[in-house]
Amino acid sequence: MKIKNVLILNNKLLLISSLLAVNIFAKSIDFDMAQENPQRVAPSDMSQVLSFNNSIKDSMLSVVNISTKKHISNPAGNLPMEMFNDPLFRRFFGDQFGNQFKQNKIQRALGSGVIVSKDGYIITNNHVIENADEITVTLSGETTEYTAKLIGKDADSDLAVIKIEAKNLTPIKIAHSSDLKVGDVIFAIGNPFGIGETVTQGIISALNKNQVGINRYENFIQTDASINPGNSGGALVDSRGALIGINSAIISKSGGNNGIGFAIPIDMVIEVATKLVEEGKVTRGYLGVVINDLTKESAKVYNHKSGALIMEVGRDTPAARFKLQRGDLIFAINNKAVKDRASLQNMIASFKPNDKIVIKLERNKKDITINAILGNRDGLIISESVNGTILGGLLLGDLDSNLIDRYRLPRNIIGVLVTDVKPKSDAEKVGFQAGDVIIQIEDIPITRFADVQEALRKYNEVYKRVYVNRQGQTILLVIK
């Protein structure tokens, strides 16, 4: 009797084990396997060499070396510049006392550029030629040096156009950003470390990269081609040798190449360069909003799942005049989809002041269409910052206890502090000094940085009377 029960139990265990086995195999993965033993190929003729030389040799002739000189004036020895700018120091020793200790030095820098016309127009990075007193260009394979003239520069896109007096140059062929694909083979051409013309190979690692924190307007091509100091302003070309971007920056902890380089895409390059040649500057449309991306949580309260979310509407801006509101989600401009904050920013920047645009947005789960006219962004400062460079070379900051102590200012002083003045700038020429406190611009009292922005919007493109408090005295300076 006992033996029979054991057999029944064993049969049940066997049945359970079989069922478990069936269930396990029922959940197996059907892998999509690649073909085994793939064929490996070589040149059909063993005398052949795989090479892109014929594709890129003309492009190499279009890339130039750029060297710049900048004259700077520094105090002798290790004396800190802040000491000479200290108002208390100047009060005892006089404004000119520090000049006795200054030494003139020449700061040199190297970069690259790309010829885009037979008569000498060259595109490079703004940071390559910024504040340079002299710009010298050397053509590929030559030793003759050409003195270049600055045609225009745009810090927000980090692009600049210079020109040399030469004829029958070799302009580079231009591609289209829309043709680019991740995985495309590309080449970076430039002058890394000043060692001469160099070509490195890689692929397009990513497209439309933004929020990198390099430029204000970002839509980068990311590549793993080796880009090093001196490559800035050089060419990124496809396997045909056509220009797809201007090499701009790398991400690196050591300063060397880590396989993460960025280039400004050719469509943006053409747009900016054309404006710089025609007008000498880039004038962009201005809406006047602080925007952000949708998050996973905020997207739950909107019907549209992509767009740019308005966080603030600036006072006396086009956005305010056309009744945009905090919480509006802009999802299209002129029927072109807005994917995120960066795409809206780049779209608005592509328009000119006074251009009419059609804004489509979601407000309280309803779609609304607003016809708006853009303003002028000239003279405005990055909204995320409480200080910035403005008024022809002034570095300004809102007053706080630290700045008041540092510059030994009266505790009750009200205004915006001049923390630095760029050498040889318009602001320096008219007499601004570090430690000045701006208290009024034309008829607008200045109590904070936003008041400076408002004054520049109101009095853009005209000479402005700027009243400053300098060591307790009010001084009037006029600047455009």
DSSP conformation letters of 395-436: EEEE--HHHHHHTT--TT--SEEEEEE-TTSHHHHHT--TT-
From residue 370, how far is each of 325, 339, 346, 361, 381 by CA, in Å?
12, 18, 19, 8, 26
Structure tokens that stand for 4 in this block: 């029979």
Average pLDDT over residues 165-189: 90
Measured between alpha carbons, how far is 381 from 453 in angstroms, rounded to an integer? 7
Catalytic residue among 86, 154, 158, 340: 158
366 pLDDT higher than 70:
yes
Residue 71 annotated among the catalytic residues of the structure: no
Phi, psi of 408 (to 5 degrees): 50, 55
- Measure CA 361 to chain center: 27
Contacts of 436 (CB under 8 A, 6+ apart): 417, 418, 468, 469, 470, 475
Average pLDDT over residues 141-164: 89
Mean pLDDT: which of 206-220, 240-254, 426-440 is highest? Answer: 426-440
Lowest pLDDT segment from 48-52, 352-356, 384-388: 384-388
Measured between alpha carbons, how far is 382 from 349 in angstroms, rounded to an integer? 13
pLDDT tier for residue 211 given thresholds of 50, 70 and 90: low
342 pLDDT higher than 60:
yes
Catalytic residue among 62, 205, 226, 232: 232
pLDDT tier for residue 47 given thresholds of 50, 70 and 90: confident
16 pLDDT higher than 70:
no
What percentage of the chain reaches a pLDDT higher than 90?
Answer: 24
Residue 267 annotated among the catalytic residues of the structure: no
What pLDDT score does 359 carry?
A: 94
Residue 158 annotated among the catalytic residues of the structure: yes
Average pLDDT over residues 11-34: 61
Which domains does the chain carry?
A: 58-163 (2.40.10.10), 177-279 (2.40.10.10), 285-376 (2.30.42.10), 388-479 (2.30.42.10)
With b for 16 or more beta-carbon neighbours within 10 A and e for fewer, the 11-33 pattern comes to eeeeeeeeeeeeeeeeeeeeeee
Q: What share of the chain is helix, strand, coil (3-state, %, to 5)?
A: 25, 35, 40
Measured between alpha carbons, how far is 307 from 319 in angstroms, rounded to an integer? 17
Structure tokens that stand for 176 in this block: 């289209």
Measured between alpha carbons, how far is 307 from 158 in angstroms, rounded to an integer? 26
The larger pLDDT score, comparing residue 361 to residue 86, is at: 361
- Measure CA 107 to chain center: 24
Measured between alpha carbons, how far is 22 from 32 in angstroms, rounded to an integer? 22
The per-residue DSSP string of 344-388 comes to HHHHHHHSPTT-EEEEEEEETTEEEEEEEE-EE-TT---TT-S-E
What pLDDT score does 405 carry?
A: 76
Average pLDDT over residues 277-290: 86
